[in-house]
Amino acid sequence: MSTQIPRVQLLLTGDELMSGDTVDSNSALIARELAGLGLTPSRRVTLGDDRNALAKEIEALCADADVLIINGGLGPTIDDLTAAVLAQVANSGLSEHPEALNHLEKWCEKRRLVLNAANRKQAMLPTGCSLIPNPVGSAVGFSLIVNDCLVMCTPGVPGELRAMLPIMIEQLRARFGITLQKDVLRLQTFGLGESTAQQLVLDNHPDWPSEVVLSFRAGAPQLEIKLSVTRAEDRPLRDQCQKWLESLFGDHIIGEGDTRIAEAVIDLARESRVTISCAESCTGGMIASMLTQIAGASDVFPGGFVTYSNTLKQSVLGVQASTLESQGAVSEATVKEMVIGALDASGADFAMAVSGIAGPGGGSEDKPVGTVWLAWGDRQRVDTVCLCWPVERVLFQTMVAAAALDALRRRLAGIDKQSRYFDQRRMR
């Protein structure tokens, strides 16, 4: 068993990656998993579905790497070339792999599909390759040694790649005798901008230790903060840095790992033995959808109401016609009545309500596109805020839905402070 640090390169294939039809998120997925072994790919090449170019590139990359991870081109269609090209470069020929065929047959059977010729092509693999099991999709992955380089072929569908990566990581760990474990702590936050967060850390902790790598990954609606060390002895330093971050950003931290904001709300509600509901106008079902994407949401969420029209705000939630007339649908009075209406109609203990102008049309001078009123609370106390988020429609809905969930998260967690973005985006 070798203990060298292997040189890793990536090859991504697919016309859709070259044409700009698809943004490649798979490379980042692969890189983040490799980081757990302390490995960073040194080079990444992306090519279209061109047999000659692929063959030439695979040959060159193999000559210059210990591990080559190829992503894409394993599907059933004629532009899926990876197996054929790799067999050509390795001079191994293609043959029907019995395990792969078995996987395909089972996959089709489970879905009540007939295995057709196109699917069956996915079992034709370079002779002598080993399978990388695919727990979720039809295409199996496979690996083959080509000129002393371990070539691992993986499917382009992100969900399938994600499911296969832990298996590949263990194979790499075993093959190269990697004992080092990059120790990564990921914290999910909501309401912090990347540059604000970075500046706050710099200002408050100019003595930040270089052994603890701090990085940020902005995703809508959450910002991930990552702390990593590569030596076990630096673990106490990392714990200290984590404490610093918690005292700086504590109320913005939703949870560790992949925790989503809806998940944090559901967990808090379950712990407090309360139920929650929502009344949505401009977010149009996205709050309910974020909640119900979490398994077990039914424990605390009996349901919610998408009251897009004023008529439904009245008939379903009991918002007063006079309120809508005098204050308008996007107003503090309306969202307060929506919360009460949602509590009454659902029987839940807590509720959120939002009403705003998602755009692109519908704005006015007084209430421009991006204006939104939020309300949340229980029968004793309903809080409100008016924010302005003048961004593209779906991003607006996503951020507003998350803001409503975050407001309720803070209420359920007994956090009195509101989020920083409330100050930055507050209108009234």
Interface positions, 188-247, toward its own copies (CB under 8 A): 194-196, 198-199, 215-218, 224, 226
Question: Hey, what are 93's tokens?
Answer: 């020929």
Stretch that binds its own copies, among 123-131, 233-241, 300-308, 404-412 (CB under 8 A): 300-308
CB of 90 to its own copies, least distance (A): 22
Integer Cα distance of 14 and 30 in angstroms: 17
Residue bearing tokens 């070798």: 2
Q: Cβ of residue 167: shortest distance to its own copies, in angstroms?
A: 17
Nearer to its own copies, 122 or 384 (CB): 122
Do the Cβ atoms of 283 and 256 come closer than 8 Å? no
Considering the rule CB under 8 A, would residue 291 count as an interface residue with its own copies? yes
User: Judged by CB under 8 A, does residue 180 bind its own copies?
Assistant: no
Of residues 70-99, those binding its own copies (CB under 8 A): 75-79
Query: What is the rounded distance in angstroms from the CA atom of residue 213 to the CA atom of residue 228?
Result: 5
Which of 360, 414 has the CB closer to its own copies?
360
Residue 86 or 282 having the CB closest to its own copies: 282
Using alpha carbons, list the distances in angstroms from residue 194 to 200, 220, 224: 10, 11, 9
Q: How far is the CB of 382 from its own copies (least distance, A)?
A: 21
Main-chain dihedrals φ then ψ at residue 153, nearest 5 degrees: -105, 130
Q: Residue 403 and residue 309: Cα distance in Å, rounded?
A: 22
Residues 6+ positions from 140 with CB-CB distance below 8 Å? 74, 97, 99, 100, 103, 104, 122, 125, 131, 132, 133, 134
Residues sharing a CB contact under 8 Å with residue 381, sequence separation 6 or more, in sequence order: none
Are the C-beta atoms of 374 and 259 separated by less than 8 Å? no
Please give the angle made by the CA atoms of 141, 11 and 71, to the nearest 5 degrees. 30
Asked if 154 contacts 167 with a C-beta cutoff of 8 angstroms, the reply is no
Going residue by residue from 312 to 331, which x/- string records binding to its own copies, judged by CB under 8 A?
x--xx---------------
Residue 128 Cβ vs its own copies, minimum distance, rounded to whole Å: 26
373 binds its own copies (CB under 8 A): no
At position 368, the amino acid (one-letter code) is: P
Cα gap 139→159, rounded to integer Å:
12
Site for its own copies, residues 133 to 172, rule: CB under 8 A: 136, 157, 159
Question: What binding mask, one character per residue, do residues 374-413 give for its own copies by CB under 8 A, x or -?
Answer: --------------x-xxxxxx-x----------------
47 is a site residue for its own copies (CB under 8 A): yes
Q: Which window, 145-153, 229-237, 298-306, 374-382, contacts its own copies (CB under 8 A)?
A: 298-306
The answer to the question of residue 311 lying near its own copies (CB under 8 A) is yes
Q: How far apart are CA 308 and CA 317, in angstroms?
A: 11
CA-closest candidate to residue 43, choices 64, 24, 20, 26? 64
- Shortest reach from residue 260's CB to its own copies, in Å: 11
Minimum separation from the CB atom of position 1 to its own copies (A): 27
Total chain residues near its own copies (CB under 8 A) = 105
Residue 181 contacts its own copies per CB under 8 A: no
- Kindly state whether residue 302 participates in binding its own copies, applying the rule CB under 8 A: yes
